[in-house]
Amino acid sequence: QVQLVESGGGLVQAGESLRLSCAASGRTFSNYAVGWFRQAPGKEREFVAAISRSGSSTNYADSVKGRFTISRDNAKNTVYLQMNFLRPEDTAVYYCAARWLVLRTTVGEYDYWGQGTQVTVSS
């Protein structure tokens, strides 16, 4: 079992930045790939970014490329999502998720989920 807790969400204006954190506990964190997903009201949960176990590989949704950066610190059991140049369409609940070993980009391939943190971007 892996327990995940997100933090860092909030209300910002368009063009501003936020950094989300995903703190993990339980099994050896460095054995898990981690993804960030988001869900806006009335929409399906969608992939945002993912990072491999070591942090050497990353993957981003086209909508956030060049604006968001995912990183991890395995010594702290934490994954980060730095979000710059935020837009109103980035408004959603952001979730981190973990899966054993291999990085993937679809919701159904992740086994462990946090409770989410709200990000609201005003225009």
- 10 Å Cβ neighbour count for 106? 11
Q: What is the pLDDT of residue 26?
A: 79
Q: Which residues contact 63 (CB under 8 A, 6 or more apart)?
A: 89
Determine the pLDDT at residue 121: 98
* Per-block mean pLDDT, blocks of 10 residues, the chain (123 long): 96 98 90 97 97 97 98 96 98 97 94 97 97
Amino acid 94: pLDDT: 98
**Beta carbons of 110 and 97 less than 8 angstroms apart:** yes
Q: Which residues of 28-52 are buried (b: 16+ CB within 10 A; e: fewer)?
A: ebeebbbbbbbeeeeeebebbbbbb
